[in-house]
A and B are shown apart, each in its own frame.
Chain A
Amino acid sequence: MTKYETVIGLEVHLQLATRTKAFCGCSTDFGARPNSQTCPVCLGFPGSLPVLNEEAFNFAVKVALALGCKIQDLIKFDRKNYYYPDLPKNFQISQYDMPLAYDGFIDITSSGQSKRIRIKRVHMEEDAGKLMHTPGYSLVDYNRSGMPLLEIVTEPDLSSHEEAYEYLTKLKAILRYLKVSDCDMEKGSLRCDANISIRPKGDTKLGVKVEVKNMNSFKNVRSALEYEARRQVSAMGSGEKIVQETRLWDADKEVSNSMRSKEEAEEYRYFPEPDLVPFVVDKRNIEIIKRGLPELPEARAARFTKEFAMSEYDAGVITSDIDLAEYFEESARLCKNIKAVANWIMGDIMAALKEKTVGIKDARIAPAGLAGLLTMIDSGAISGKMAKDVLLEAMDTGIDPKVIVEKRGLSQVNDRGEIEAVVKSVVAGNEKSVNDYKAGKTNALTFLVGQVMKSTKGKANPAIVNDILKKILEGGV
């Protein structure tokens, strides 16, 4: 593997979260009855004409600027001509030689170093409908036809499947911060295709590239590229020629298969779309939009390390998703113990979310609720262990932690007198363990503490229990 290096370029298609489609007023709501969100325009009926959605355009410009791109002086649309039943006009309104934006970048970390992945271009286009295949015939639903898409293309700067994964993660974080798309690969609002080739290490000429499609998650992209790189290296090794082709990833079998297509390279006959006029974003507006961009993940992470004295790693994790970052910040405002906030979010909360397969927005415990819970731990009102249970219950029921603690009477017992009485009782009833402890077996202490906790149904303040127990065992009350 070390004889060769891998060269990867990624093409991401992003569905913009506007209320209506790119060129008509049909709704973009997900999951509607087939062909119920269509009109003459997105059906491509004869005589229909496109009119560009201003919000889609604005979203696109925001993305371009957030990715550090230059905005084209004169933006135009072009027709990409090809025949397919999910394409009602048999051409797609897209952008060819004067796309919305170009020359951007995303920085990732590779082998501990910062690496710049250049973004070649960002352009707008319309989506096609959905084609479903059954034996004997195919069916078409045009609800998706005309949805606004943004295509983001990198230069072949990625050198490994891991880098590709990181690039996608960083890109998604930025896009979600901009609130221009929900970036959900399952729902199809984010799609990724890859171009991958290998070449002898140190070579500058690009090898034969293979296009890989049908990867429906970031993990699949990583696996597919890992597989493909290996396949190509192995092919080179055995003297096989690598064919320029498109391969589809099979996530179940974890292999890629060549698409056997009868068509030679399709000719798109691009020409400027005569039904749309050109678009200009003047320099002043670009500055205004730039200044109006929200704080992006990298900047936010940097601020978190300073403002909240967080480690770079923690800041990176927390800011990797905007919902998480906002949740954290809101909680941190309400609870002074930032370290605890970070730990609980990154630990117990994220673990629970993973199990429930939901995002932080569906955590059912508000930042104020979390802050309240952590404050209770710090003030000793509830033990840390108890708090973990309360958290899970809050996340299951949506009830505020304070209410749960009250209802279940889980308040920690901090009264030394109360605890002393229980300790004395446990000591009295566990002579063997007391002697074991005096003989030097420290486990015996743990056992005795456990007995006190059991007796108080876990509510005794463990620190106080330990303190009092030691004092009594060491002699004298």
Chain B
Amino acid sequence: MEKLYALTAHELISLKKSKAEIAGSVHDRIEAVEPRVKAFVRVNNTSSAEGGGVLSGIPVLVKDNICVSGEETTCSSRILDGFKPPYDATVVKKLKAAGAYLIGKSNMDEFAFGSSCETSCYGPTRNPWDLNRIPGGSSGGSAAAVAADETIMAIGSDTGGSIRQPAALCGVVGMKPTYGRVSRYGLIAFASSLDQIGPITKDVEDAALLLGIIAGYDEMDSTSVDMPVPDYKRSLVKDVKGLRVGVPKEYFIKGIDKDVEASVRKAIGVLKDLGAEIKDITLPHTEYAVATYYIVAPAEASSNLARFDGVQYGLRDKGARDIIDMYIKSRSEGFGNEAKRRILLGTYCLSTGYYDAYYLKAQKVRTKIREDFDRAFKDCDIIITPTSPTPAFKIGERMNDPLSMYLSDIFTIPANLAGLPAISVPCGLTAGALPIGLQIMAKPFDEETILRAAYTFEQSTEHHKLKPKL
């Protein structure tokens, strides 16, 4: 009999396990492996949630950039040291209403700036599959915790791949919904036009379950869409007959890991054998996505992060002689290097003389990237690619080379720029026993087709059953 902590939410629910039993098992697991994985910034040791609900007593880990009322929320940054928001993010309200046990806050790259969880002020989280390697980022803590069974489910945020890439590198499921599908109210903003909150889970069924709970219109978020939330459970059927699968040649470039490519091609073969129609497609502006992103995202971030100044909350340099001095000292002390780098880059791209050449230009290229997808989706139902060009790299390997770090997101960024839904599901291990992720993208608000394809693939293979040896 498997330990409770190793099960999925849907299994625990059908087994009708009690809140206390589940909590006990998961906390034991945390005690056993957390010193090595370091996925948590805060473990919630208080008793599990009161009241019933679909997720009654199921532990859900929340990324530390999502506000939980009265609990420290720091975005893994020193500048938010001690900050306790007086309100819950909308998704947190929904999780509480569903009876979830909010088991703690997960480690992340500082302000979600990163693809490795190394820029956290608390130090990096480790990949449970190889503790010398990064778990991916920025939702590295959430992904690692799910992979290590330190939580049953988790939520993360995805701006350029921050849910999908760590999910791929940790061998779990991670989904970024369509922009506007899930409320951003209470998500501490990185890039407002790209951010989305999404589920990180052990299998596709749990992802569907969690998505159904957090999705929906929110009157507190002007960019959230007033569309009914489908019953995502109905997508959990094994059927891809006639499904038109686009495979873009631009995502199979020189430089991706050979095992990653082989694994993804094999996965495409599985779907083909199950009746899907595979088409070669082209998304010609893919090569410009990273450059576009690294103008738009830092620009918006530089403005979103201006509020961290020591006036109302967080770190304040107490020795400052006047307000400007206080701003400068507090921010210089409180932000890490990557945060500073992005703020500088973003401010530069928005300043007089550079706005047209950078920000405006990038927003135009963004249109071209979206148009590529619009065209592709005329003849395809889903698009399949690798999630990450490489498996997890070693801790410290890319820290001195920001550009190479940015290129980790090359396959995930386009979905954020175009606002599309996308999922990463495990599709195998490299020769070095590191997880590989398969990315499935679809038209806006077509999470259902993604879930159906992902579920079909998952249930036709054994990859989702693999767990790291801890």
- Listed in ascending order, the chain A residues whose CB lies under 8 Å from chain B are 40, 43-52, 79, 81, 83, 85, 88-91, 138, 140, 267, 269-271, 274-277
Q: Secondary structure at chain A's binding surface: helix, strand, loop or mixed? A: loop
Task: Report the bound CA distance from A138 to B347 in whole Å.
Answer: 28
A48/B355 in contact, CB under 8 A = no
Tell me which residues across on chain A come within 8 A of B191, comparing CB atoms.
Answer: 274
- Tell me how far the C-beta of A144 lies from the nearest C-beta in chain B, rounded to whole angstroms: 15
Contact of B350 among A48, A271, A275 (CB under 8 A): A271
Instruction: Tell me the smallest distance from the CB of A132 to a CB of chain B, in Å.
Output: 13
Q: Which of B184, B311, B313, B323 has the most CB of A within 10 A?
A: B311
- Point out the residues of chain B lying under 8 angstroms from A40, CB to CB: 85-87
Flag whether B186 is at the interface (Cβ < 8 A).
yes
Min CB distance A262 to B, Å, is: 8
Most buried by A among B80, B188, B309: B309
Interface pick from B230-238, B299-307, B441-449? B299-307
A48-B222 contact in complex given A40-B86, A88-B312, A274-B300, C-beta closer than 8 Å = no
**Residues of A close to B185: CB separation below 8 A:** 47-49
Chain A residues within an 8 Å CB radius of B86: 40, 45
**Assembled-state Cα–Cα distance A186/B188 (Å):** 38
Per a CB cutoff under 8 Å, which of A43, A49, A51, A83 touches B327?
Answer: A83
Partner of A44, one of B85, B307, B350: B307
Q: How far is the CA of A50 from the CA of B221 in the complex (A)?
A: 7
Which residues of chain B come closer than 8 Å to A138, judged between CB atoms?
Answer: 323
Complex contact B311–A85 (CB within 8 A):
yes
Alpha-carbon separation in the docked complex, A40 to B327 (Å): 21
> Which of the residues B85, B189, B223 comes within 8 Å of A277, measured between beta carbons?
B223
Q: A89-B306, A90-B307, A90-B309 are in contact. Are A46 and B80 (CB under 8 A)?
A: yes
A88 contacts which chain B residues (CB < 8 A)?
307, 311-312
Give the total of B residues in contact with A, Cβ under 8 Å.
43
Known contacts A88-B312, A271-B350; is-contact A47 B222 (Cβ 8 Å): no
The distance from the CB of A326 to the nearest CB of chain B, in whole angstroms, is 38
CB neighbours (8 Å) of A90 from chain B are 306-307, 309
Q: In the assembly, what is the distance between CA of A47 and CA of B112, in Å?
A: 13
Cβ-closest chain B residue relative to A269: B350
Asked if B45 CB lies within 8 Å of chain A CBs, one says no
Further contacts, 19 of them, CB under 8 A, given A49-B220, A271-B355: A43-B312, A47-B67, A47-B189, A49-B184, A51-B219, A81-B350, A83-B309, A83-B324, A88-B307, A88-B312, A89-B306, A90-B309, A91-B303, A138-B323, A269-B355, A271-B303, A274-B192, A274-B223, A275-B222
Would you list which residues of chain B between 52 and 110 have a CB under 8 Å from chain A?
Answer: 66-67, 73, 75, 80, 83, 85-87, 89
Closest-CB distance, A307 to chain B (whole angstroms): 47
- Which B residues contact A (CB, under 8 angstroms)? 66-67, 73, 75, 80, 83, 85-87, 89, 184-189, 191-193, 219-223, 299-300, 303, 306-309, 311-313, 323-324, 327, 347, 350-352, 355, 359
Which chain B positions have C-beta within 8 A of A51? 219-222
B159 to A: closest C-beta gap in Å: 12
Q: With a CB–CB cut-off of 8 A, which chain B residues contact A83?
A: 306, 309, 324, 327
B223 touches A46 (CB 8 A): no
- Knowing A46-B83, A90-B307, the reply to whether A271 touches B359 (Cβ < 8 A) is yes
Per the bound structure, the CA–CA distance linking A156 and B308 in Å amounts to: 39
Contact B192 A47 (CB under 8 A): no
A89 to B355, CA, bound (A): 21
Residue pair A267, B351 in contact (C-beta under 8 Å): yes
Are A269's CB and B351's CB within 8 A? Answer: yes
Which residues of A lie under 8 Å from residue B83 when comparing CB positions? 46
Is the Cβ of B85 less than 8 Å from the Cβ of A50? no
Residue in A138, A140, A269 whose Cβ sees the most chain B Cβ within 10 Å: A269
**8 tightest CB-CB pairs across the interface, nearest first?**
A90-B306, A274-B192, A269-B350, A274-B193, A46-B188, A47-B186, A47-B67, A89-B307
Q: Bound complex: CA of A277 vs CA of B221, how far in Å?
A: 10
- Is the beta-carbon distance between B306 and A91 smaller than 8 angstroms? yes
Q: Which residues of A contact B187 (CB under 8 A)?
A: 47
Given contacts A46-B189, A47-B187, A50-B222, contact A81 B303 (CB under 8 A): yes
Expressed in whole angstroms, the Cα–Cα distance for A138 and B321 within the complex equals 12
- Distance to closest chain A CB from B335 (angstroms): 14
Residue of A47, A48, A50, A81 touching B306 (CB-CB under 8 A): A81
Q: Quick check: B303 and A47 within 8 Å, CB to CB? A: no
Nearest CB to that of A81 among chain B residues?
A: B303
Q: Which residues of A contact B73 (CB under 8 A)?
A: 46
A47 with B307: in contact, given A138-B323, A276-B222 (CB under 8 Å)?
A: no
Please report the C-alpha to C-alpha distance between residue A111 and residue B86 in the assembled complex, in whole angstroms: 60
Is the pair A47, B347 in contact by a Cβ cutoff of 8 Å? no
CA distance A90 to B89 in the complex (A): 22
Q: In the complex, A46→B352 CA distance in Å? A: 27
Cβ contacts under 8 Å, B189 to chain A: 46-47, 275
- Measured in the bound complex, the distance between the Cα atoms of B67 and A85 in whole Å is 23
User: B188's closest neighbor in chain A, by CB?
Assistant: A46
16 intermolecular pairs with C-beta atoms under 8 Å apart: A45-B313, A47-B89, A47-B185, A47-B187, A51-B222, A83-B324, A85-B323, A88-B307, A88-B312, A89-B306, A90-B306, A90-B309, A267-B351, A269-B352, A274-B193, A276-B222
Complex Cα gap A48–B188 (Å):
8
Interfacial chain B residues near A89, Cβ < 8 Å: 306-307
Greatest chain B CB density within 10 A among A40, A52, A138 is at A40
* A52 nearest CB across to chain B (Å): 7
**Contacts of A140 on B, CB cut-off 8 Å?**
311
| Least distance between B349 CB and chain A CB atoms (Å) | 9
- Cα A79 to Cα B309 in complex, Å, equals 18
B158 CB, min distance to chain A CBs, angstroms = 16
Q: How far apart are B226's CB and chain A's nearest CB, in angstroms? A: 12
CA distance A276 to B313 in the complex (A): 25
Q: Which of B188, B300, B309 contacts A47 (CB 8 A)?
A: B188
Residues of B within 8 A of A267 (CB): 351-352
Q: Which residues of A contact B311 (CB under 8 A)?
A: 85, 88, 140
Q: Are B80 and A49 in contact (CB under 8 A)?
A: no
Q: With the chains together, A47 CA to B222 CA distance in Å?
A: 13
Shortest Cβ distance from residue B456 to the other chain A in the assembled complex, whole angstroms? 36
User: Complex Cα distance A276/B184, Å?
Assistant: 12
Known contacts A83-B306, A138-B323; A45/B85 CB under 8 A: yes
